[in-house]
Every structure is written in structure tokens, then in C-alpha cells.
Structure 1
Amino acid sequence: MNWSRLCSALWSKSLRFILTPVTTQISRTAVQRLSPSSWSRRFCSFSSPKQFHNQNYSKFILISGVMSFLGLEKEKEEKDDELIMTLKRSVLLMQQGDLAKAEQMLHLALRLAQERMSVDGITYTYDLMANLALERGELAKAEKLFLTVMNRLLVAGAQENDNKILHMSIKLANIFADGFFEGKDASKAQELCSKAHNGYDFCKERLQKKIDSGDNDSDTYLLLSLAYEGEGRLYAGQEMLPKARLSYEKALEWSKRGKDTDERMSSLLGYLGYISGMQAEIPAAMHYLEEAIAIARKNNGEQLQSMLVNLGMLKLYNGALAEARNSCKEGFNLSRQAKDSETENEAVRCLEEVNVAFKNKK
């Protein structure tokens, strides 16, 4: 089934957007457009959350699903099964960041699956290949592979409200959002933006309907959180900050209900703090950031230094100079340890402004 026929069949009634995969990433270019006030232009942008996303719900699907996500465990349950072990190795390589070797391992897995004519094995291997392409930023390739996986699942009898279909639909909607962020073609960018919004709307409607019908699966809650998060970053890229904030608040709500990881909840709180700060709602911004930092401290989250610098800038703006200095100094130390030069530079600038403010206060 080709692209247009798949889209027509799948989205003809209520799935009105065209499929494309996910990276929940507020791009730096999008962040840079968010500047409603002069002080907010000094606000430190967060590190890209693409990795955080892939390491949370998506990684959960990959790890827990090697044997069961697409029913592969029914093929053969022996621990030393060559296909299963090859798939597991590829996932491990992806986690370790060795993407080139992971790709080689996946091609080996695909050949094994084809040789034994394992329908589920082929489908799952394509799914891993799609996620790998997504991790490498090969969006067009990821898009085609996700469409292949979805087509195979639908042919095998999956329903359009199946969590596996909805998860990939969110990923596909986010690819459209990424295309909008790139903005290489203004006319096409607007089209991609519209398609992404339609995709998020569809996924939210389907997931909410499942929950209203009694689906208490935490995976369903987490998928709804991902849909709201994707929508929120898209609104942020459009400079529609009130809508972005509402979407992130919903994402956080469903993240909590789904008992999500501390890392992801900290990141969502951090973005809420950032967006509130861009709206010049300082008390709310500080509240969100302080909560995010408290959670991030538990496992030294990778965005901790950025959040500390952002909080320092807010404290500076609010006149709490000693607290601002402490926050920015800690952010500076952590960013230097992490070799995060961008955040380190922001921290230096924050400390310089704090020093100027102290001198002017005398």
C-alpha cells in the first residue's frame, strides 16, 4: 500500500493528518523566536530534550517490547534465539550511542527474520530501524519506515486506536512539527504545522476516549502526555505561549497519572518554567523551575544546569541577588563539568549581571 492509499485508508474519517515520526524537541530556533520582553531574551534556552524523550516512553517500548511489543515472543521463547538476541543487541547499541553498529545489527536481524519468514520479527525490526533513523535525525527515512510498520500492523488486524498505532502517530506528527521548525520552505512549513496539529488532535481524541471508556493503562496516560507535549512545543514554536503552557500543563498532569519517570516530569516542569518566564509571569516560572530542579537533583538530570541558570535569571529580575548568584554559580559549575559551553556562557553572563546589580545597589 503506498503513502496516499495508507493515509486515505487510515485517516479518511477522523485521522485527518498524514503520518510522520516523533522527536519531542523544542528546537533552539523555535526557542529563539520566543522573546516577548527584553529581559526574557536573556533567558537561557534548555538543552535539546530529544534525548530525554527517546530515553523515556519510547525507550520503554523498545526495551520491554523486544519480546512482546509485536508478539515476537510467540515465535520462539528460547533465551538463545538468534533473532531475539540480535534485536536485543541492537537496542543495547542504540542505548550506548553506537548507532552505526546498531544499524548493522538491525540489517542482520532483518535478514534473519526474512529467512525464517517471521512476520512479527520483520515488523519489529522495521520499527527499531525507524526509531534508529529518528535518533540520527534522518526524518524522511524514519517517516517511511514508520509508515511501513503501521501498514503491516493494520494489515495484521491492529485497530486505529491501538496504542502501538497511536504511539507511532504521535511520532509522525512530531516529524511534521520538526519540518515546521526547520522552516526551509515557508509555504510548506505552514502546511506541516497544520498537519501536525491535526495529528495531535486525533491522538488526543482517541486516547481520551479510551480513558473515558475505562482504559486505566499507564501507557495510555503516558501517550496522552506525549501528545500534549508535542502540541505544546509546536504552539511554543508558533509563539502562542498561553496555548503552549496549557498543553504542557496537560502533559504534566497525564505524566503524573501515568507514573512517569522523574527525568521526564522534571523536564516538563522546566519547560513550564521557561514558558511562564517568557510570559513574564515570574512567580509561576520560579515555582515550576524550583520544582523541576528539586526533582532533577535526585539523579543529576542533564538539564539541571540550564534550569539553574534560568532560575538565576528570574531571581535576578526579581531582585533576589544573593539567590540569583548562588543559582547561576551552581549552574556554571555543573555546565563546566558537563562540558556544556552554551549554558556555561549563559551562566557567566548571569553572574556578570548579578555583580553589576550588586554594585548599583550600593
Structure 2
Amino acid sequence: MLWGNEDDEEKTPEEKIIHLLKQAKLCVLKKDLKGAEKKLHEALFMAEEEKHTNAIIYTYDLMANVAFLAGKLDSAETLYKATLGLMLSSGVEKDNNAAIEISLKLAAIYAMQGKNELAVLGYEWCVKLMEEKLVRLTEVTDGSLSEEYKANTRLLLGMTLDSFGRYLRANGHWELARQQYVKALAISHEVQGDQHPQTVVLMSDLATTLDALGRFAEAEELSGRASIIAEETEHPEQPTVFLNHAGVLLHQENYSLAEAMYMKALKFAEKQKDAITAQEIRKGLDELQKRRAKAQIAAV
């Protein structure tokens, strides 16, 4: 132990880089972001010394992810741009799935920074590239592309549409958000099935969007279906799915069912120790009591 680790000395430079990257990922899992940064800088130094392009790109990508998790948006933006630049200069196509994922992260960063024009351009660029790519993939019938790759590419488009939909919804563009959610839900349903957690979340999000557009019957049917599946499958986001359903019922002035759904949501939120969702549920219950009281006074 005093003279170092002989096993480490016997490793090739590439093995040492891989070991550092694994250690960095472990630090992230432990929420030790400073430790992760340290390991990644060590890995980057070695990768640059070895002129190992793939290792450099991968390390930059991980560094960008860590910066994003740490809330260092400017640093994350710079690192993602550097990663994307290195990928494209090494011959990676602009519609490569990994390149699209980074472009999507950049769009999300622009949204968080309030750079709305850049965010919209980023999301629309990603959607356009992915939709064009999928058209080309359908024309490939010689078996050179696996069905798994095609499915993953479709799911990436679904993720892009979902992210764009959430951005549009957050900015009050309800009809545009609905359009993205409809397409994202169709992809998730076809590739992953109704029981998949992501499909359920998309159903719930689309329902709240329909609710905001005044399409109450559609919203209630969809949010109710999402709640049933979430309960049957023990969905990890049950509190949020139930909360969304309760909100739709509240706007329908179905106070009794809305209250029951709010209470069910609160039960699961407290069980999961989800304080943020529990707070939103209590706000919903307060709003329900106010509306119920007004309705009772109006009926007198």
C-alpha cells in the first residue's frame, strides 16, 4: 500500500482512462459532483496525452452532464458545444442519435436560461432532423439496420417531442404543446406499450394540456386511464399522475371525486417522502375547498 497499487501500474493508458470514468460515474451516483469533476479532469488529461479522440469526446460529455447537474448552465453549455464540435469534426453525422441528444440538452439549457428563441430553434432543429432520419430508416430494408436501432431512434424522437412539449406548456403555448404530446404518446404507445411508465406520464401530461385547452371530456378520459394504469403497475410517479387527474376533475366541478383523488395522491406522496408534490396536492385541496364553498353559496 505504501508503494502504490501494482495492478494500477500494470494497466494500459486506455484502461486507466476507463477506470477514472467509472469512478466519476460512481461519484455522480453518490451525488459527489466535485469528486466526479476531479476524476473527469484526470481522465481528460490522460485522454489528451494519448490523443484518444473517443475518450476525449466521452469525457467532455460527462463533464457537461456533471456541470448541468451542478446547476452550472454556462459551463454545461460550453462543454456540450465542445463535445458536439469534436463529434462532428471526427466524422459523426449531425443526425447521429448521440449528437441529437446533445443538441436536445443544449435546447433545454437555453430554455432554462430564458433564451427562448434559441430554445425553440434548438427543439425544432432536433425534431426536423429526427423526423427526416426516420423517413430514411423506413426505406432501409436490406437488414443492415437492426430493429432495436430503429426503435431506439423512434424513442429518441419521442423524447425530443416530449421535451419540446414540456417547454411549450411551461410557456403557455398549449395547442403547440398538445401537438408534440400527441406525436410523442403515439411513439411511446407503439414502441413500448400502454403499461410503460413513460407512456403513462405522457398520457397524464397530454391530459393536463387538453384540460387547459378546455377539452374537458378528453382530458378526464385520458387522465383517468393514466391513473388506473399507474395504480395497477405501481408507477413510480403515482402522486403526480393522481394529482393531474384530480386537477382535471376539479375543473369539471366534480368535487367529490377530485377530493378522493387528491387524498390518494397525498397518501402516496407522503409514503414516497415527496415533499414538493405533497405541497402541490395541498394547494389543490385548498383550491377545491374554496370552489366548493363558492358553489354552495351560489346555490343558496
Whether these two folds match at TM > 0.5 is yes
Q: Which residue of 2 aligns with 1:221?
A: 154
CA contact (8 A) 1:262 1:296 kept: no
> 2:204 touches 2:244 (CA, 8 Å); kept in 1?
no
- Given that 1:245 and 1:272 are in contact with CA atoms closer than 8 Å, whether structure 2 keeps it comes out as yes
Residue ranges of structure 2 left out of the alignment (5+ in a row): 1-10, 139-146
**Computing the radius of gyration over CA atoms, which structure comes out larger, 1 or 2?**
2
Q: Which residue of 1 aligns with 2:185?
A: 252
State whether structure 2 residue 107 is matched by structure 1 residue 107: no
| Counterpart in the other structure of 1:11 | none
Distance of aligned partners of 1:349 and 1:162 in 2 relative to their CA distance in 1, 3 Å threshold: closer
- Which letter does structure 1 place at the counterpart of 2:128? E
Corresponding position of 2:97: 163
In the alignment, is residue 239 of structure 1 matched against residue 172 of structure 2? Answer: yes
Map 1:1-362; keep pairs closer than 5 Å.
Answer: 81-180=15-114, 192-214=115-137, 217-259=150-192, 262-297=196-231, 298-301=233-236, 303-351=237-285, 353=288, 357=292, 360=296
Cα deviations by residue, 1:257-278 (Å, 9 ceiling, x for unpaired): 4438933322222221221222
1:51-108 deviations in whole A, cap 9, x for unaligned? xxxxxxxxxxxxxxxxxxxxxxxxxx99x93322321232233234332322222223
CA distance in 1, matches of 2:55, 2:165: 35
**Alpha carbons of 1:137 and 1:252: their partners in 2 closer, same or farther (altered >3 Å)?**
farther
Cα displacement (A) at 1:346: 3.8
Query: Quick one: distance in 2 between partners of 1:99 and 1:316?
Result: 42
Say whether the 8 Å CA contact 1:262–1:295 is kept in structure 2.
no
Distance 1:329 1:205 in 2: 42
1:189-242 CA distance string (max 9 Å, x none): xxx322222222222222112111125612211221122223222322332211
Return the alpha-carbon distance in structure 2 between the equivalents of residues 136 and 119 of structure 1.
26
**Aligned equivalents of 1:238 and 1:345: distance in 2?**
22
* Structure number with higher helix proportion: 2
Q: Report the residue type matching 1:234 in the other structure.
A: Y
d(CA) in 2 for partners of 1:129 and 1:338? Answer: 31
Answer yes or no: is the 8 Å Cα contact 2:245–2:261 preserved in 1.
yes
Alignment-mate amino acid for residue 110 of structure 1: L
Amino acid at match of 1:244: A
- Native 8 Å contact 2:161 2:184 kept in 1: yes
CA contact (8 A) 2:230 2:241 kept: no
Q: Who is 1:22 aligned against?
A: none
What amino acid sits opposite 2:116 in the alignment? C
Please give the per-residue CA displacement for 1:130-152, whole angstroms capped at 9, x wherever unaligned.
11112222111111111111111
- TM-score, normalization by structure 2: 0.79
State the identity %.
26
SS at match of 2:71: coil
Q: Distance in 1 between matches of 2:285 and 2:264?
A: 11
8 A contact 2:94–2:100 mirrored in 1:
yes
- Determine the C-alpha separation between the residues in 1 that align with 2:197 and 2:151: 17
Contact 2:259–2:285 (Cα < 8 Å) also in 1: yes
Equivalent residue pairs, number: 273
Q: Contact 1:252/1:268 (CA < 8 Å) preserved in 2?
A: yes
For structure 1, the 5+ residue unaligned runs are 1-76, 181-191
Cα separation, 2, equivalents of 1:306 and 1:264: 13
Q: Distance in 1 between matches of 2:223 and 2:127?
A: 27
Worse overlay, 170-179 or 96-105 = 96-105
Q: Return the letter of the residue paired with 1:200.
A: Y
RMSD, matched Cα: 3.0
Give, in whole Å, the separation in 2 of the partners of 1:292 and 1:100: 39
Q: 1:351, CA displacement in angstroms?
A: 4.2
Question: Normalising by the residue count of structure 1, what TM-score does the alignment of the two structures yield?
Answer: 0.66
